[in-house]
Amino acid sequence: MSNAAAASSRIVSMDQFRGYTVTGMLIVNFLGHFAISHPVLSHHNTYFSYADTIMPAFHFAVGFALRLTMLRRLQKVGTRAAYARGIKRCLGLILLATVILLADEAHPFKSWADLQKIGVWGVLAQLLKGDLWETLTLIGVTSLWVLPVIAASARIRLLFLAGCIILHVLICRLFYFDFLYARPNWLDQYWGAANVRGFDGGPFGFLAWSIPQLIGSFAYDMVARAQNRSSVVRLFSLAIVLMGSGYALSCLSTLYPLTSPPANGEGSIRIAESPVVPPPPELADKDFKSFLAEAPFVQPRPEEQRQLSYWLMGKRVVTLPFSLFSSGFALGIYALCVLLCDLGGLQIGFFRTFGHNALAAYIIHEVVNKAVKVYAPADSPYWWALGTFGLFFGITYLFVRSLEKNGIYLRL
């Protein structure tokens, strides 16, 4: 297919959405590093911040594109070839992500004796519980998980989505919440790495990350049928339902006691004894407002911070309130892109550049980020933080734009 034909077959709103998401990633990954930055630019695992919107948005975009691609490939090359290509792409993404991660890890072994002492599983146990689960790895694993149903009917995908939710809540109730927070649980005796906290959902995080990917597949169905004001209304309506559901479930966190002493840093907040099954509500002398959780993007004051539980919007476990609200937020942003881009004809140049080559932008930004941050200490003043961010953003954009001008797109 020629570049012109490929461009004409693209959905502009998704390219712009993907470009917006990459831009948001650049902002939070660089500016979130500075002490002077607003807390909403960092991850906290105690409330929903702007930084928490980025990874779910990538999953949403992947689910949208995966359904589009699989439906087309099934028609063109048949079932076997289409699914073989999908599996190959997912495994390739996992391999690429693992290589990028390990290349950046500090070398833990000074000698062969050190390696023998820790053992192969000792190394893998820590990686598989923690640092391995960054964005690209989780996208690859989750895409592999949803691949069997991504081209199926809406009913089958809904049933699969419900199954993922139920299974995630169940394993968190049985052992998984404690496992990710390095609290005593039965899996530690087999897994090891008992003192390591999980990261972005950990090894079973694909159950939770399936939610935004499958929501993305439903969004594709809506815009594939028609790109008009009615489809925008449907997208916004579903976004409101998802965000409302996520917030409503987060209100269960108000049933837990306040943390003592007051704190708003995750490491200083007590973990609830029963983090998945909330205690019964105490109705005496309480009004309705006392059962309302803080609004998303608002950090609770230290004296109002509840104990850590499954019902906070936390990214470490990728709780159900987090998954639903973040999926709805991504869908709402995408609906805005459909309204402004597909219907209104708006296109932002650097969104297009990043959106067409998101994987290349991801890899390039990792390298440029590290190079520029050498000269951007965390305690830098505002003017230096913004100046170095401009340098980081500009260099990343120039590299990705150069690839675009030369018709080079990184695909797996």
pLDDT in tens, 200-251: 999 999 999 999 999 999 999 999 998 889 999 999 999 999 999 999 999 9
Whether 2 maps to a domain, the answer reads: no
Whether 28 maps to a domain, the answer reads: yes
Can you give the pLDDT of all 412 residues of the chain as single tens digits? 334 333 446 899 999 999 999 999 999 999 999 999 999 999 999 999 999 999 999 999 999 999 999 999 999 999 999 999 999 999 999 999 999 888 876 666 677 887 777 777 877 888 888 888 999 999 999 999 999 999 999 999 999 999 999 999 999 999 999 999 999 999 999 998 899 999 899 999 999 999 999 999 999 999 999 888 999 999 999 999 999 999 999 999 999 999 988 988 888 999 999 999 999 987 766 778 889 999 999 999 999 999 999 999 999 999 999 999 999 999 999 999 999 999 999 999 999 999 999 999 999 999 999 999 999 999 999 999 999 999 999 999 999 999 999 999 988 7
Report the predicted TM-score, pTM, of the whole model to 2 decimal places: 0.94
Whether 68 maps to a domain, the answer reads: yes
Q: What percent of the chain has pLDDT over 90?
A: 82
Torsion of CA 18, 369, 204, 79, to 10 degrees: 40
CA distance 184 to 52: 27
Whether 21 maps to a domain, the answer reads: yes
Whether 232 maps to a domain, the answer reads: yes
Q: How many domains does the chain have?
A: 1
Q: Which pLDDT value is given to residue 290?
A: 84
Q: Which pLDDT value is given to residue 3?
A: 40
CA distance 269 to 303: 11
Handedness of CA 81, 82, 87, 88 (dihedral sign): positive
CA distance 408 to 293: 47
Q: Residue 214: how many CB atoms within 10 A of its CB?
A: 26
Instruction: Mention every residue, 6+ apart, whose C-beta is less than 8 A from residue 173.
Output: 276, 277
Q: Which domain holds residue 169?
A: 10-266+287-405
Indicate left, alpha or beta for 318 from its phi (over 0: left) and psi (-120 to 50: alpha): left
CA distance 303 to 180: 25
Q: Which pLDDT value is given to residue 123?
A: 78
Q: What is the CA radius of gyration of the chain?
A: 22
Whether 393 maps to a domain, the answer reads: yes
Dump pLDDT digits (tens) for 342-355: 999 999 999 999 99
Dump pLDDT digits (tens) for 292-313: 999 999 999 999 999 999 999 9
Whether 148 maps to a domain, the answer reads: yes
Whether 272 maps to a domain, the answer reads: no
